[in-house]
Structure 1
Amino acid sequence: MKTNQKPERRNLSNTLSAGVKSLRGGGRKFYVLEFKTPSQLKKSNTTQEIIIDYIELGRDPKCQVVFGEDCRTVSGVHCSISREGEDYFIRHLSKTNPTLVNGKPVADRWYLNSGDEIRLAYDGPLIGFIVPQNNLTSSIPLTRRMELFRDQALRPFKA
């Protein structure tokens, strides 16, 4: 499903707020990215829990999900994934390389379903999008939530 809403952006205040709420647990929800192809920075069949509402994927070190220089077809900031209420969306941000969901190019912004496969460029990394059945952040151990908060909410804004 394509949607036409204004673009999201990385925002320090919103990111920190979502990160702190995830640390406390409560009703915050998360999703998982499964890296299906091996690369310099991502081993095949590894996963990463995402606890904040907006992330960017690309080779830029300020992205929350970073790919190495071996992924030449991945742009600096290739795409974003955002959570709005109970829904998740992917937005294509690259000017040069496509973002695909289940093999179809994303022109702007598309709704994501659990089980969808995201590919960054036609021959780029393949990533599974998974919403676990128990997707409350409180189900993630506190020390892991702290690591995720550091990596996703703080590191991208580090000067």
Structure 2
Amino acid sequence: MAASTQQFKSAGSNLGQTIGQSWSMISGKDIPNYSLLFLDETLTRKRGEHETIFMPHIVLGRSSRCHVRYSDEFRTVSREHASITVDGTNFVLNHNPSASNPTYVNGKPVGGSHFLQNGDEIQLSSNGPKMRFNTSALKTSTIGLTSRIGQAMSQAVKPYKTALLVMGLLLAGAIGLAGYNMYKSGQMEKELIALNEEKVKVDQEIADLIAQGKENSAEMEALKQRKAQIIYRTNTIVQEVDREPTSSAIKEETRKRSLQIRKRNYPFDFRGL
């Protein structure tokens, strides 16, 4: 059955969709899939073997970028001969108009795109290799996590592997940065608590000196200087919280706690309300 909504796309052209579907599979969602039974040997599969395909777009041909790759002994097969694309619940075979020879389904040439049916036989050129398309009832959510990751990554052709590796490195870096920022925010909060405890102690010592009539003593002056240092350091921490590239939730929580400490314990010294 002819399909008018799809057309051939070269290997590496569906990067965004491939990353999205790979992530859906890795995260445990059910994604469309199908299997190919190889009636002729490929570079990676022997005759009679089959492979379940999870990618939304694969290319068949002799190019090193093709997912299903044939050796150069199949000279009638083009470098990128045809592709299979997932279209909702449908699977579409797309013939490459630049290919030197036709693509066949059940012995009939495909002029452009064709909706595949369970059991359809695909052939690349009149004397070329064959494979059988089979729909699959496999629920990818039932596959173990390690297997899901392995299969999703292994089925990404070379351009996708590079992009997914870069994405993985960026993700790991982002997670590491987030972890560091959470740790740093925790350290700031601990310091605020310690400063608050010291502030309470200094205030009590000042009150004791006043009760003893020692308002102008050197000891009183030292305590006032220490109190000023505590206030300055507290203000500095709040400013650091505002500058940190931490998630808004973590930043807001740390800032909220620091403001509560400042309001509660030394309202006359508080700035920035």
Fold in common (TM above 0.5): yes
Q: 1:141 to 1:153 in 2, by over 3 A?
A: same
Give unmatched runs, 5+ long, in structure 2.
Answer: 163-273
Q: 2:26 aligns with which of 20, 23, 29?
A: 23
Structure index of larger Rg: 2
Alignment length (residue pairs) = 158
Give unmatched runs, 5+ long, in structure 1.
Answer: none
Query: 2:67–2:157: 8 Å Cα contact kept in structure 1?
Result: no
Q: 1:77 aligns with which of 74, 80, 105?
A: 80
Query: 1:61–1:156: 8 Å Cα contact kept in structure 2?
Result: no
Deviation, structure 1 residue 58: 0.8
Q: 1:35 aligns with which of 35, 38, 62?
A: 38
Equivalent position of 2:64 in the other structure = 61
Deviation, structure 1 residue 8: 5.3
Q: Distance in 1 between matches of 2:35 and 2:64?
A: 20
Equivalent position of 1:110 in the other structure = 114
Deviation, structure 1 residue 141: 4.2
Bigger share in helix: 2
Q: Structure 1 length as normaliser, TM-score?
A: 0.88
Equivalent position of 2:52 in the other structure = 49
Query: 2:105–2:122: 8 Å Cα contact kept in structure 1?
Result: yes
Q: Distance in 2 between matches of 1:35 and 1:137?
A: 22
Q: AA paired with 1:77? A: E
Q: AA paired with 1:119? A: Q
Q: Distance in 2 between matches of 1:40 and 1:14?
A: 26
Identity of aligned residues (%): 34
Query: 2:6–2:113: 8 Å Cα contact kept in structure 1?
Result: no
Query: 1:40–1:68: 8 Å Cα contact kept in structure 2?
Result: yes
CA RMSD after TM alignment:
1.9
